[in-house]
Amino acid sequence: MRKSHPIRRVVLAGAATVSGIVLLLSLKPASDPGSAQAAGVGAPPAASAQGGAQAAGSGTVTGEAAQTQYGAVQVRLTVSNGKITRAEAVQAPKGGQSDRITANAVPKLNQAVVAAQGADIDAVSGATYTSAGYKESLQSAIDKAKAAGGSSQGSGSQGSGSEGSGSQGSGAAQAKTVTGSVAQTQYGAVQVRITVSGGKITQAETVQAPKGGQSDRITANAVPKLNQAAVTAGSADIDAVSGATYTSAGYKESLQSALDQAGG
């Protein structure tokens, strides 16, 4: 029996060694990076996916005025959820031959911006300087829209502790644009579009106005004044522009129609 003890010890020692190895192998996967990611530890990819939404934004931005050989050009953009929904020229060359060139080029440039969703648009033939100034102001507006979109996203990620960011969000959500009915005048149709935010007119523009011959000069003089008066008054109770009685009357009629649609 004494001779069998050494063999028994060897067998027991071997069994203990095998058990230890098995135990170590069973513990190893807990420290394996692959199993840690499978358990949900690898969160950084999800965080980076959220960061890609910072380009989204909504609101109206106006680019810097670009000076050209024939006058200033300034572009205003309306952006919704990161997309350009409308482009317009707040300023454009006017007077003499510039009235005809502007009337032809600006609508085409506005349409091209919405289609391209950026400043990579072609110049309009016969309006080289106006097109160049338009694109310069357009790029400025796009840069502002991107900056505004990034800052609003940043304040939102900080939580609900900022009252300022919350009020801005609700204001943007309430802003809407409405177009009044067409008002027929002795010299042509007049139609007004307004943007309303927080119950106030923040922007007014003419979609249609009398044109051709002497009407071009009258419209170029009267419309900017009427637009400004509508924003200042916040209603259709504005004075007629001297020398543009019919245009002013048509403007006020279409403006009131737009206000009615906006809810007063």
Strand partners, 184: 189
Length of the chain: 264
Task: Write the CB contacts of 3 (distance below 8 Å, at least 6 apart in sequence).
Answer: none
Q: Give the pLDDT confidence score for residue 129 in this predicted structure.
A: 93
pLDDT band, very low/low/confident/very high, at 207 (cuts 50, 70, 90): confident
Q: Kindly tell me if the per-residue pLDDT of 52 is higher than 50.
A: no
Q: Give the pLDDT confidence score for residue 199 in this predicted structure.
A: 81
Cβ(48)–Cβ(62) under 8 Å? no
Predicted TM-score (pTM) of this structure: 0.41
Q: Kindly tell me if the per-residue pLDDT of 262 is higher than 50.
A: yes
Per-residue pLDDT of 78-124, as tens digits, reads: 988 888 999 999 999 999 999 999 999 999 999 999 999 988 999 99
Q: Give the pLDDT confidence score for residue 248 in this predicted structure.
A: 94
220 is written with which tokens?
């170029």
Q: Give the pLDDT confidence score for residue 12 in this predicted structure.
A: 62
Q: Give the pLDDT confidence score for residue 76 in this predicted structure.
A: 92
Q: What is the 3-state secondary structure (H, E, C) of the chain?
A: CCCHHHHHHHHHHHHHHHHHHHHHHHHHHHHCHHHHHHCCCCCHHHHHHHHHHHHCCCEEEECCCEEECCEEEEEEEEEECCEEEEEEEEECCCCCHHHHHHHHHHHHHHHHHHHHCCCCCCCCCCCHHHHHHHHHHHHHHHHHHHHHHHHHHHHHHCCCCCHHHHHHHHHHHHCEEEECCCEEECCEEEEEEEEEECCEEEEEEEEECCCCCHHHHHHHHHHHHHHHHHHHHCCCCCCCCCCCHHHHHHHHHHHHHHHHHHCC
Q: Kindly tell me if the per-residue pLDDT of 30 is higher than 60.
A: no
Q: Kindly tell me if the per-residue pLDDT of 196 is higher than 70.
A: yes
The one-letter amino acid code at 71 reads: G
- Look at 12 and 148; give whichever has higher pLDDT: 148
pLDDT band, very low/low/confident/very high, at 197 (cuts 50, 70, 90): confident
pLDDT band, very low/low/confident/very high, at 57 (cuts 50, 70, 90): low
Q: Give the pLDDT confidence score for residue 198 in this predicted structure.
A: 79
Q: Give the pLDDT confidence score for residue 31 in this predicted structure.
A: 41
